[in-house]
Amino acid sequence: GTPGDLAGRHVVVSAGGTREPLDPVRYLGNRSSGRQGCAIATAAAARGARVTVVSAHAEPGVLAELPPQVDIVPVTTAMELHDAVRAAAVDADAVVMAAAVADFRPAEVADTKLKKHSLRTSGGTGEPVRQAAPVIPLAENPDILAGLVTDPPRQDGEHTLVVGFAAETGDADGDVLAHGAAKARRKGADLLAVNAVGTDQGFGDVPNAVVVLDAGGTEVARAQGTKQEVAEALVELIAARLSGRHP
C-alpha cells in the first residue's frame, strides 16, 4: 500500500468494550482492551485518512497511543456507541466495528445503589432465611453493525464500506469458518474479520490471526502477526476496496 492513499477519506473505528449500568456504581462489561481498534485507527491515519475513534472503555494508555490527529469520541454504553457511530458515519468512507458491544443491557437502571438483599426473618422459627438471588431483567441492544448495512447513515449516495469483527469458537478451522461465514451472511458487512478463539489447530494457533470474509461468506484474505500487522493488513484491504482494487 501507498502511504497517503487514504488522504481525503474518513474512516470511523469503534473500539473498546461497552459498559451497561445497573445502578450508579455497577455495570455489565467485558474484557475488550481497545487495542485492535486503536491499531486499525493508527494504520488508517498513517495512510492519510481522517480518523474518528468512537471509544467505549479501553485499558489505560491505549487511547494515549493514538496519533494526535485522530478524533476520539468517548462513550460508555452500546446505545451511546450506536448513536455516536451513526453520527460520525454520515460522511464515512469506511466504518470498522472493532468494539465489543454488549448484546443486552439491564432493562432498568436504578437511580440509587442497589442493596444486597436484606435478610428477613422467617415466619415462626425466628431463623433468618435468604431471599432468592435477584434476577436482572435485560433488554436487547441494537446490532450496530447490521444496522449500518440495512440503514446506512450516509445519505449522499456514496457507499460506506462496513467492516466487522467476529470471534468464533470451534474445534477446527472448518467449524470456525462455517460459523464466520454464517455470521458474514447474516450481518451483510462488506468485510468480516473472523478470529478463531479456543481453536488448538490451524489459524487459531496464532494469538492474532484473522480470516477475512466478504458479505457472501467467501474468504478474501488471511492475516496474522501482531495486532499492528493485522490492522495494517485490514487497512490494506479497505484501501484496495475504496480504490476499486478488489483483492
Minimum Å gap between C-beta 208 and ligand C5P is 16
103 near ligand C5P, rule: CB under 6 A: yes
Q: Which of 53, 54, 101, 181: binder of ligand C5P (CB under 6 A)?
A: 101
**Part of the chain binding ligand C5P (CB under 6 A), chosen from 43-51, 130-138, 161-169, 235-243:** 161-169
Is 113 known to sit in a ligand binding site? yes
C-beta of 32 vs 42, nearer to ligand C5P: 32
Minimum Å gap between C-beta 89 and ligand C5P is 12
141 near ligand C5P, rule: CB under 6 A: yes
36 near ligand C5P, rule: CB under 6 A: no
Is 74 known to sit in a ligand binding site? no
Give CA torsion, residues 195, 198, 201, 206, to 10 deg: 50
Is 23 known to sit in a ligand binding site? no
The three three-digit cell numbers of residue 182, written as one number:
454464517
56 near ligand C5P, rule: CB under 6 A: no
213 near ligand C5P, rule: CB under 6 A: no
Q: Which of 19, 34, 62, 165: binder of ligand C5P (CB under 6 A)?
A: 165
Give contact residues for ligand C5P (rule: CB under 6 A).
Answer: 78, 97, 99, 101, 103, 141, 143-145, 164-166
